[in-house]
């Protein structure tokens, strides 16, 4: 959620966008590879646009039908339920949802040597992992903790030629509580902007 008087696209890139961009970097995804995204809110809807620009096939797992539909519109190669196994092994994945229970299935969906980036600042407890099933094969788990100034500079450089088109819904400041409730419920696609 963003509070802005300026261009909402810039604000979204410097909030949700920079989180998604940092997560892409830490996932180790390379142009042309297969990327999994778990949860499809504000950050993921920016990350898919960058990954598609890099020629990646993007596989999206999400609970919400509206989010699944947006993922299809933005060029996802495959869209499924939150814990549904994608049809192909993935090179890298990012979990945007704050749901620790997604970690084991996301690890199982990775190919050998794949990296799973955890992009949330909060996550529910991660269930027990089975070493042979979930980790073996040099799979890597990385947390995404902070963004840098360089991430922002690189993101804006990357975003200009794509061009990234954020999907936003605007709320007047007096409807901030409603915006927070809708955000928690996941009842809109993309990102929300608070106008003041």
Per the domain annotation, does 143 fall within a domain? yes
Per the domain annotation, does 29 fall within a domain? yes
CATH of residue 80: 3.40.50.720
Helix (H, G, I), strand (E, B) or coil at 148: coil
φ and ψ at 117, to 5 degrees? -100, 130
Per the domain annotation, does 5 fall within a domain? no
Per the domain annotation, does 63 fall within a domain? yes
pLDDT tens, residue by residue, 122-135:
999 999 999 999 99
**Structural domain count, the chain:** 1
Using the predicted structure, report yes or no on whether residue 4 has a pLDDT greater than 90: no
Full-model pTM: 0.86
pLDDT at res. 190:
67
Going by pLDDT thresholds of 50, 70 and 90, the confidence category of residue 15 is confident
Q: List, in sequence order, the alpha helices (H) in the chain.
A: 8-12, 18-27, 42-53, 65-73, 103-109, 149-159, 176-185
Per the domain annotation, does 46 fall within a domain? yes
Helix (H, G, I), strand (E, B) or coil at 183: helix
pLDDT tens, residue by residue, 22-77:
999 999 999 999 999 999 988 999 999 999 999 999 999 999 999 999 999 999 99
H/E stretch holding 111 reads: strand 110-118
Per the domain annotation, does 186 fall within a domain? no
Q: Across-strand partners of 142?
A: 117
> How far, in Å, CA of 115 to CA of 79, rounded?
20
Per the domain annotation, does 4 fall within a domain? no
Residue carrying structure tokens 């997560």: 23
Domain that holds residue 43: 19-165
Per the domain annotation, does 190 fall within a domain? no
């Amino acid at each position: 959620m963003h509070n802005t008087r300026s261009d909402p696209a810039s604000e979204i890139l410097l909030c949700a966008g920079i989180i998604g961009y940092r997560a892409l970097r830490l996932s180790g995804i390379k142009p042309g590879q297969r990327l999994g995204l778990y949860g499809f809110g504000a950050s993921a809807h920016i990350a898919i646009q960058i990954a598609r620009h890099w020629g990646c096939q993007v596989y999206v797992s999400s609970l919400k039908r509206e989010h699944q539909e947006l993922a299809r519109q933005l060029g996802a190669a495959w869209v499924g339920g939150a814990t549904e196994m994608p049809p192909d092994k993935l090179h890298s994945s990012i979990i945007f949802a704050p749901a620790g229970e997604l970690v084991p299935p996301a690890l199982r969906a990775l190919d050998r040597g794949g990296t799973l980036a955890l992009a949330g600042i909060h996550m529910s407890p991660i269930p027990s992992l089975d070493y042979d099933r979930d980790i073996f094969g040099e799979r890597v788990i990385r947390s995404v903790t902070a963004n840098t100034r360089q991430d922002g500079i690189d993101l804006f450089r990357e975003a200009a030629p794509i061009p990234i088109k954020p999907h936003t819904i605007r709320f007047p400041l007096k409807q901030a509580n409603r915006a927070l409730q809708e955000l928690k419920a996941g009842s809109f696609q993309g990102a929300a902007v608070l106008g003041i």
